[in-house]
């Protein structure tokens, strides 16, 4: 059943899978109007139908966060009733490859930096002025435990998420005078499409990552974001690291195999 959040609007990037999809579903069920964005239009339309069939108001924006012109065009095309974005979730991101720095694929590096860092900046730069004009809003940046620590062969991915961590702190300061909240979410091991993308479709390698661990789910992260977004207006969670109980750091796992 829809509740008092009905008139609020959330925009979620990378909503076609994983965290983004779960976040969109959680907030739609809570009564938010939901703007879902992503590169895979077929998946966006599938999610739109699923959420709309449940009574939610959903709008799709099909664009790649790496393309500044497309980001600007998409956000500027929002109908007037959808431009009052209360929450922005910068979720679009990925890891590609797992190689030592001297063996890395520079195309993979570009893809991670362009998506995880520049894409986040492009979307924020376009949406934040709408929040500033209204004097309210909440930005969630999906970072990673890899933004707090580094691990072997994680070099560029870790660097990109460290950048998200730093940008979240900077955004919080920059937005302070406008009454806008900024929350950095740093998940640990979560079983989504993450490793399948990292290993470029190699499901055997992807499955091995999670073996013996009851990992976080996309729904777990959606619940955490819902909690942060539901706190009183004077309360802001600035930074939150979440791991499975079996994980105490990027290199500390208690596998049950």
Averaged pLDDT score across all residues of the chain: 94
The answer as to whether 256 is a domain residue is: no
The answer as to whether 223 is a domain residue is: yes
210 counts as catalytic: no
The answer as to whether 34 is a domain residue is: yes
The pTM assigned to this predicted structure is 0.94
Supply the CATH number for residue 202's domain.
Answer: 3.40.50.720
Q: Do 39 and 197 contact (CB within 8 A), yes or no?
A: no
Q: What percent of the chain has pLDDT over 90?
A: 87
pLDDT score recorded for residue 199:
78
Helices (H), 145-202: 155-175, 194-198
The answer as to whether 51 is a domain residue is: yes
Which residues touch 90 (CB under 8 Å, ≥6 apart)? 13, 120, 123, 124, 139, 140, 141, 142, 164
Question: Which residue would you say has higher pLDDT here, 253 or 201?
Answer: 253
pLDDT score recorded for residue 3:
45
The answer as to whether 1 is a domain residue is: no
Among candidate residues 5, 32, 122, 157, the one labeled active-site is 157
For 42, the token pair is 């077929």
The answer as to whether 3 is a domain residue is: no
Nearest partner of 34 among 94, 78, 92, 93, judged by Cα: 78
The answer as to whether 135 is a domain residue is: yes
Q: Please say if the pLDDT value at position 194 is more than 90.
A: no
Domains: count for the chain: 1
Give the pLDDT band of residue 209 (cuts 50, 70, 90).
confident
The answer as to whether 59 is a domain residue is: yes
Q: Please say if the pLDDT value at position 6 is more than 80.
A: no
| pLDDT tens-digit readout, 38-80 | 999 999 999 999 999 999 999 999 999 999 999 999 999 999 8
Mean pLDDT of 246-255: 92
Domain that holds residue 192: 9-248
């Amino acid at each position: 059943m829809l509740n008092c959040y009905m008139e609020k609007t959330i925009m979620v990037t990378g909503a076609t899978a994983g965290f983004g999809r779960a976040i969109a579903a959680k907030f739609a069920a809570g009564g938010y109007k939901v703007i879902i964005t992503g590169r895979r239009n077929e998946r966006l339309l599938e999610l739109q139908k699923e959420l709309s069939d449940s009574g939610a108001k959903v709008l799709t924006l099909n664009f790649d966060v790496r393309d500044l012109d497309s980001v600007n065009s998409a956000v500027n095309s929002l109908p007037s009733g959808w431009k009052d974005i209360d929450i922005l979730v910068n979720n679009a991101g990925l890891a590609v490859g797992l190689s030592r720095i001297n063996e890395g694929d520079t195309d993979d590096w570009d893809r991670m930096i362009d998506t995880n860092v520049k894409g986040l900046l492009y979307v924020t730069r376009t949406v934040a002025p709408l929040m500033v004009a209204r004097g309210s809003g909440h930005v969630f940046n999906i970072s990673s435990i890899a933004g707090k620590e580094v691990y072997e062969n994680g070099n560029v991915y870790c660097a990109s998420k460290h950048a998200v961590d730093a940008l979240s702190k900077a955004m919080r300061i920059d937005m302070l005078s406008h009454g806008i909240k900024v929350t950095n979410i740093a998940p640990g091991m979560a079983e989504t499409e993450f490793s399948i993308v990292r290993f470029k479709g190699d499901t055997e390698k992807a499955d091995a990552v999670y073996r013996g661990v009851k990992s976080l789910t996309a729904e777990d992260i959606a619940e955490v974001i819902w909690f942060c977004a539901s706190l009183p207006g004077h309360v802001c969670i600035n930074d939150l690291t979440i791991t499975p109980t079996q994980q105490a750091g990027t290199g500390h796992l208690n596998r049950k195999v």
